[in-house]
């Protein structure tokens, strides 16, 4: 017992050492000359996440002009009010936007802590549900290193996360709202989950689809084995001693008892808080833009800008090139097709993965990152960090090394192709667009492989549970 506690303290100490090291590494990169010019990279900054555009919008507001005048700023007026004053603060001998950089570094750290806390909750509920069915040998595999720690370190040390932070991308704050919503749902805090969901949707629109996994998390509890295994739990509990669940907290035991039954009470509380937070955000946004056209102008300049893909500047997505080439007559049709693709995948995935709502949220985030109008590496940083929460369930992925090499290759080739096209003049848009297509293909492979590995893991649990049940009966 003492050896286990000592090992746990050692793991915890090393975890915080790596966390602090990642923060120091970010601060060192921020102090480099011109921040490696990452803030001007199309892979890092988009019309919705660029801090330079936010500073431009705040400068227009200071001149008593609409921050949405022209085509620079298209983000949240609340974010503009909070971060705008920090963009004009100057320190002698320090890099520009130093305070904003510190805010983004702090946001990354909070994201990692929340991911770790959510991972601990998921692992606790998952281990207890396995023990309740007598599958002790399966739960022991996760004792090597907690999946929450793995996910937090993957998020902090992911090159995409570091580049987005150093490149002054506000995607870290958007990711914070998404993670806050998932954490609130995992812990049963409906007001917190509603606040994160409302703010994430307000800032980026695409997180609106996460309402389904959040409702499943609140109504059914954290991720668990397939629902068809739960009817066997009652029989297994009779055949096994109650000591198998002695290590589980009482709240988790209560959760396991009702996990196969959907609970509407927390969902109704969540919906009530969504209404409350949405009203509050709309009132504050209306106050911020009341002299610049009101809420209608705000929706047109933010959500309308996202849905109509007005800015065709190059990015790591596929929509900019397609709509630059398509005839205007077909533009509205293909806008519906591209945005409808996201909605068409929601229901089938929810029906198949309803027993793992947190993993379902990961899949939704990958799909939205692939199909959104203005993607950035900050989106990849979020879903790759969440992928670490399921490190032990998806160990049977067949193309993990292929995906790793593909992401590294795209990350290196994208700036090279952009340089050949824009600065050298020895390439064209097809060079850069080829890397965007490859990036989208790797995301598709990641979704397919991860979902297949998770379903195979569930089939393994079903097989183990059936074998256990047969042994008990015999």
pLDDT of residue 222: 79
Per-residue pLDDT at 293: 81
Give the residue-averaged pLDDT of 130-142. 60
What is the chain's alpha carbon radius of gyration, rounded to the nearest angstrom? 23
Q: pTM higher than 0.85, yes or no?
A: yes
Q: What confidence score (pLDDT) does residue 14 get?
A: 84
- pLDDT tens string 320-332: 998 988 888 889 8
- Evaluate if residue 216 carries a pLDDT over 60: yes
User: Residue 42 domain-assigned?
Assistant: no
Residue 39: per-residue pLDDT: 82
Q: 61 in a domain, yes or no?
A: no
Extract the tokens encoding 54.
């936010």
Within a domain: 64: no
- The answer to whether 66 and 40 are in contact (CB under 8 A) is no
Residue 44 placed within a domain: no
The string of DSSP codes covering 401-462 is HHHHHHHHHHHHHHHHHHHIIIII-SS-HHHHHHHHHHHHHHHHHHHHHHHHHHHHHHHHHH
Q: What is the pLDDT, as a whole number, of residue 224?
A: 59
Q: Is the pLDDT of residue 464 over 80?
A: no
- Tell whether 260 is covered by a domain: yes
Summary count for the chain: helices (H), strands (E)? 21, 0
Query: What range defines the domain where residue 115 resides?
Result: 2-35+96-473
**Is 68 a domain residue?**
no
Instruction: Point out the least confidently predicted range of 29-38, 110-119, 266-275, 286-295.
Output: 29-38
pLDDT at 398: 86
Average pLDDT, integer, range 193-208? 94
Other residues' Cβ atoms within 10 Å of the Cβ of residue 181: 28
CA atoms of 240 and 233, how far apart (whole Å): 10
Evaluate whether 259 touches 230 at the Cβ level (below 8 Å).
Answer: yes
pLDDT above 90: percentage of residues in the chain: 44
The phi, psi pair for 12, rounded to 5°, reads -65, -40
- pLDDT at site 7: 60
State residue 117's pLDDT score: 93
For 82-139, the three-class secondary structure string (H helix, E strand, C coil) is HHHHHHCCCCCCCCCCHHHHHHHHHHHHHHHHHHHHHHHHHHHHHHHHHHHCCCHHHH
For residue 169, the cross-strand partners are 50
Q: Is residue 66 part of a domain?
A: no
Structural domain total, the chain: 1
| Residue 41 within any structural domain of the chain | no
């Amino acid at each position: 017992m003492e050896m286990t506690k000592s090992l746990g303290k050692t793991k915890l100490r090393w975890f915080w050492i790596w966390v602090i090291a990642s923060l120091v590494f970010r601060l060192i990169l921020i102090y480099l000359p011109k921040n490696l010019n990452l803030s001007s990279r199309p892979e890092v900054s988009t019309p919705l996440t660029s801090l330079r555009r936010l500073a431009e919008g705040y400068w227009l507001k200071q001149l008593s002009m609409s921050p949405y005048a022209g085509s620079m700023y298209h983000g949240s007026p609340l974010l503009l009010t909070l971060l705008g004053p920090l963009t004009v603060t100057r320190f002698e001998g320090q890099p520009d936007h130093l305070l904003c950089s510190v805010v983004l570094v702090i946001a990354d750290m909070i994201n990692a802590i929340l991911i770790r806390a959510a991972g601990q909750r998921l692992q606790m509920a998952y281990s207890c549900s396995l023990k309740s069915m007598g599958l002790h040998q399966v739960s022991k595999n996760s004792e090597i290193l907690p999946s929450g720690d793995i996910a937090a370190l993957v998020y902090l040390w992911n090159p995409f996360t570091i580049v987005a932070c150093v490149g002054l991308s506000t995607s870290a704050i958007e990711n914070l709202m998404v993670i806050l919503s998932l954490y609130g749902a995992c812990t049963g805090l409906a007001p917190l989950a509603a606040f994160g969901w409302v703010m994430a949707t307000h800032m980026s629109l695409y997180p609106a689809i996460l309402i389904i996994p959040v409702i499943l998390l609140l109504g059914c509890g954290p991720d668990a084995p397939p629902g068809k295994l739960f009817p066997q739990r009652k029989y297994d509990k009779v055949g096994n001693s109650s000591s198998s669940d002695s290590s589980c907290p009482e709240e988790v035991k209560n959760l396991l008892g009702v996990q196969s039954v959907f609970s509407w009470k927390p969902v109704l509380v969540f919906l009530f808080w969504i209404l409350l937070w949405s009203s509050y955000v709309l009132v504050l946004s209306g106050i911020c833009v009341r002299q610049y056209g009101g809420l209608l102008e705000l929706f047109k300049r933010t959500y309308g800008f996202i849905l109509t893909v007005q800015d065709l500047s190059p990015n790591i997505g596929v929509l900019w090139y397609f709509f630059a080439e398509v005839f205007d007559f077909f533009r509205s049709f293909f806008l519906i097709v591209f945005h409808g693709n996201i909605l068409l995948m929601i229901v089938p995935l929810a029906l198949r993965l309803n027993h793992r709502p947190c993993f379902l949220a990961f899949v939704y985030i990958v799909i939205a990152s692939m199909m959104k109008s203005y993607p950035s590496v900050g989106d990849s940083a979020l879903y790759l960090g969440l992928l670490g929460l399921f490190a032990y369930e998806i160990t049977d992925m067949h193309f993990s090394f292929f995906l790793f090499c593909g992401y590294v290759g795209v990350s290196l080739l994208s700036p090279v192709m952009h340089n050949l096209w824009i600065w050298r003049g020895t390439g064209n848009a097809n060079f850069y667009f080829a890397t965007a297509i490859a990036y989208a293909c790797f995301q598709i492979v990641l979704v397919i492989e991860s979902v297949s590995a998770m379903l195979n893991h569930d089939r393994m649990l079903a097989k183990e549970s059936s074998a256990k049940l047969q042994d008990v009966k015999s």
